[in-house]
Amino acid sequence: MPNAPRTAPARHPAVVELRQYTLLPGRRDELIELFEREFVESQEATGMTVLGRFRDLDDPDRFVWLRGFPDMETRREALSAFYGGPVWAAHGPRANATMADSDDVLLLRPLPAATTAPDVAASPDPFVAVALWHFPPGDGDGPALIHDRLAPILRETGPAPLAVLVTETAANTFPRLPVRTGENVVAVITSYPDELAHRRHLAATADHPRVRDEIRPAVERAQSEAPLVLRLTPTDRSCSA
């Protein structure tokens, strides 16, 4: 089945996958070289958007990337076209040979759904932080704390997030590729000129009176586990996208 274009790539996607791959030791650069040569334009030809590719600064064997779709049906069509097409048939086995685990995938959507999604395809700065908060399934109050109360303060104390995303609860329309289920996650993606700028932003936010006295205690009561921050650096092509 040819990878013929079906729709234009979704620069402001309504559905986003955050994919974290654990690779075999020493294979990350090999996968990145293959990915950026063979898998960017070929995926976008099907109607999805490859939003960013990153090295994890805390794990030399982790590759993190995002891709977006206009909606869940387009996701099904685009993934069917790509993974059933000639590019994946030719190069997929080599990509899979670099991986120990490729199933850590969060299916997300922008918040709020009624507004234009942030431009997560914008070229990032050299340092990117992805903050992940976990709340009990079905709880809408926890995500609202992040989006409605914390995010505005993040914009006051440092660079505005590239995206604020929450778990997409729709059924996986492409079960050949599993996603994490039973999740209720908020992801805040922000880029910085360097790691020091990130640390300063965290400190300024933590010192904000509303965060210190109200928001942080409320989030700690609501969350189901401690938050996680992915510290990432974009790959060469991701920087120049």
Does this model's pTM top 0.75? My answer is yes
Is 221 contained in some domain?
yes
Under 8 Å CB-to-CB from 103, ≥6 apart: which residues?
178
Inside any domain, residue 5: no
Q: Which amino acid is at 167?
A: T
Q: Which of 230, 52, 227 is nearest to 146 (CA)?
A: 227
Domain that holds residue 111: 15-239
Query: Does some domain include residue 6?
Result: no
Tokens of 69: 């779709």
Q: Tokens 């960013």 appear where?
A: 52
Report, in angstroms and rounded to the nearest whole number, the Rg of the chain calculated over CA atoms: 18
> CATH number, domain at 159?
3.30.70.100
Measured between alpha carbons, how far is 81 from 64 in angstroms, rounded to an integer?
22
Write down the residue that tokens 């329309």 correspond to: 173
What's the total number of domains in the chain?
1
What is the model's pLDDT at position 94? 99
Q: Are 126 and 239 in contact (CB under 8 A)?
A: yes
Q: Are 229 and 202 in contact (CB under 8 A)?
A: no
Whether residue 25 lies inside any domain: the answer is yes
> Has residue 10 been placed in a domain?
no
Please, which residues bridge with residue 101 across strands?
22
DSSP secondary structure code for residue 26 in this structure: T
Task: Please report whether residue 60 resides in a domain.
Answer: yes
Per-residue pLDDT 10s for the chain (241 aa) are 333 444 555 567 999 999 999 999 999 999 999 999 999 999 999 999 999 999 999 999 999 999 999 999 999 999 999 999 999 999 999 999 999 999 999 999 998 654 445 555 566 689 999 999 999 999 999 999 999 999 999 999 999 999 999 999 999 999 999 999 999 999 999 999 999 999 999 999 999 999 999 999 999 999 999 999 999 999 986 655 5
What was the pLDDT predicted at 122? 60
Structure tokens at 117: 């999604």
Strand partners, 49: 68
